Structure 1
Amino acid sequence: MELRDIEIFLTLAEELHFGRTAERLHVSQARVSQSIKQQERRIGGALFERTSRSVRLTPLGEQLRDRLSAGYNEILAGIEEATAAARGQVGTLHVGTMDTHHQKIATALDLFRQRHPQCELRMREILPTDPFGPLRAGRVDVAMLWLPVREPDLTVGPKLYTEPLVLAIASDHPLAGRERVELEDLGDYPVIDVDGPIPDYVWAAHTPFTTPAGRPIRRGTAVTTLNEALSAIADGGVVSPIGSYAATARLHPGITFLPITDGVALWYAPVWRSAGETTLVRAFVQAATDASRDA
């Protein structure tokens, strides 16, 4: 029995009317009659009792309806699920962001969920000192990272948003009385160093190695996490540029944040393993791009 014949039988069993069945399935009434007759010949018994006024199931028809219904619904569900999977609408997507940056892409996350309700989003935190590790380990499918990213095994998507940098200093630091600072001021004090595999060229976009005048910027305490950095800064031994979103979310009683007048803003973009690109990754990047464009 073909799937279409099963559909015709089950629809007629529900409608109990050849005309309505044909209309509902967008076929001719003759096609419905032909299909039912073929099924009855194949089975060897009547499935429907037909009169000029009514159509009703025979006991054999009721038995066949009950057995076919569950299986037919499972087939349809399987086809729908496979189709959705092929379009990147099901599964689990792990998205990595730094600190509280998931709030910055909240609109993108909402848009992705609206477009792909069967997909589960799981958020993971990316440490600034190891931005590429989770991607390469497969713990994250796509990550929001600051640029530049020049890794041969990674693909960089479109720029989505920027984050200005501020200077974090201890509240009793000599710079604390200033309303703002310049990058040249970093040549006078040691800055946070990183204890992690982040490439120098990536970290230099955040904390340069020389001032605009060419003076070296000394490295001080090495840290792995933002909390470690804030603790070291509060102790007064080091200063550090900090992303303004993190500074807003991590207000600290012993730390003052000063605008950097000539500081550059970090550009963020989605990044993923080139070999790990999937329909879900592409769908997320598209949602993030559309959300950024509409913002």
Structure 2
Amino acid sequence: MAGLEIRELESFLVLAQELHFGRAGERLYVSQSRVSQLLRALETRIGARLVDRTSRRVCLTPAGERFLADLAPAYETLRTAVEVARAETRGVDGRLCLGFQGTADAPLMAAITAFQDRHPGCVTEIAEIPFSDPFGAVRRGEVDAAIVLLPVAEPDLALGPVFSRQRQTVALSVRHPFAARASLTADEVATVPLVTASAPAPAYWRDVHAPSAAPGPSVTTLQEGLTLVAAGRGGMLLCRPTAEYHGRRDVVFVPVEGLPDSVLGVVWHRDGETERVRAFARAVSGVAA
């Protein structure tokens, strides 16, 4: 396979169809002598004569017939792969608007970088999604896809790659009795009034992110929640990267044992799936693998 020239293969395939060097040259936009040169190079590479030529006719040798039977479907597969890649690339060019909930952390930025490197013709824009409305921007068409906290149980939304599985921490005021603890159990956290997202976040989603027997205040944004935490109004569950990003002196972040990890997923509207969205999902899958 070393040094294999695709032009040699194309010349042989066209010649096998035309059985005429002149017509083959016309189809390939080269001279008749160039077709002969390419054929000789291919025969030398293979080590067998593929075509018999006399003054009256051109025909394939038995070796040529066997080679044609193997080559034709393989070449068609290769040609189709190239055409599909071209079509996908053209379909990806343009603008992709991505929403994110919480923090645009390293895994998300790595996925965006991988996508941009692979598709330089597509401009990527990012927009923050309110804590209390994880799915609204996708439904309203404000973003093409969004990276949100799971779970997602919306029938009109498609869930793509799942990534950034992180341990949970609980944000507490430095004055809270649990603030000095090295870690807390899920049962202990359940005794703390937990800040939750306000509507329109669905109830099942709110219950996962504020599993407390003593409900706390509801908020629209993450910053509102942390402000209430600092004021001693309750605790707030956050993944470790988000906790580290939003560190502040009046709030501590205590690891929690026994709760499911925080997980992000890529979602988009089922009616709005495009090649750009699929390409970004592939980029996320590549980074998360």
TM-score past 0.5 threshold: yes
The verdict on how the C-alpha distance between 1:249 and 1:150 changes in structure 2, with shifts beyond 3 A counting, is: same
The verdict on how the C-alpha distance between 1:272 and 1:27 changes in structure 2, with shifts beyond 3 A counting, is: same
Alpha carbons 1:89, 1:117 under 8 Å: kept: no
Q: Which residue of 2 aligns with 1:226?
A: 222
Which among 232, 237, 244 is matched to residue 241 of structure 1?
Answer: 237
Report the secondary structure of 1:179's partner residue: coil
CA distance in 2, matches of 1:107, 1:189: 35
* Distance apart, 1:240 and its partner CA: 1.6
The verdict on how the C-alpha distance between 1:93 and 1:102 changes in structure 2, with shifts beyond 3 A counting, is: farther
CA distance in 2, matches of 1:84, 1:116: 13
* Distance apart, 1:85 and its partner CA: 7.2
Which among 194, 200, 203 is matched to residue 200 of structure 1?
Answer: 203
Which among 266, 280, 292 is matched to residue 262 of structure 2?
Answer: 266
Alpha carbons 1:87, 1:279 under 8 Å: kept: no
* Distance apart, 1:102 and its partner CA: 4.5
Provide, for residues 229-273 of structure 1, a one-character-per-residue CA deviation record: whole Å limited to 9, x for no partner.
111000112112122111100111101111101122122221000
CA distance in 2, matches of 1:187, 1:95: 34
Provide, for residues 108-153 of structure 1, a one-character-per-residue CA deviation record: whole Å limited to 9, x for no partner.
1111111111000000111221000000111111111222211110
CA distance in 2, matches of 1:228, 1:248: 17
CA distance in 2, matches of 1:171, 1:251: 12
Provide, for residues 206-240 of structure 1, a one-character-per-residue CA deviation record: whole Å limited to 9, x for no partner.
2224xxxxxxx122222111111111000112112
Query: Residue 280 in 1 paired to residue 259 in 2?
Result: no
* Distance apart, 1:87 and its partner CA: 3.7
Report the secondary structure of 1:109's partner residue: helix
CA distance in 1, matches of 2:87, 2:117: 14
Alpha carbons 2:190, 2:211 under 8 Å: kept: no
CA distance in 1, matches of 2:181, 2:126: 38
CA distance in 1, matches of 2:104, 2:224: 18
User: TM-score, normalised on structure 2?
Assistant: 0.68
Matching residue's letter, 1:120: V
The percentage of aligned residue pairs carrying the same residue is 31
The verdict on how the C-alpha distance between 1:175 and 1:102 changes in structure 2, with shifts beyond 3 A counting, is: closer
Matching residue's letter, 1:251: G
Report the secondary structure of 2:225's partner residue: helix
Q: Which residue of 2 aligns with 1:58?
A: none
Provide, for residues 147-183 of structure 1, a one-character-per-residue CA deviation record: whole Å limited to 9, x for no partner.
2211110000132221221011100111122211111
Q: RMSD of aligned C-alpha atoms?
A: 2.3
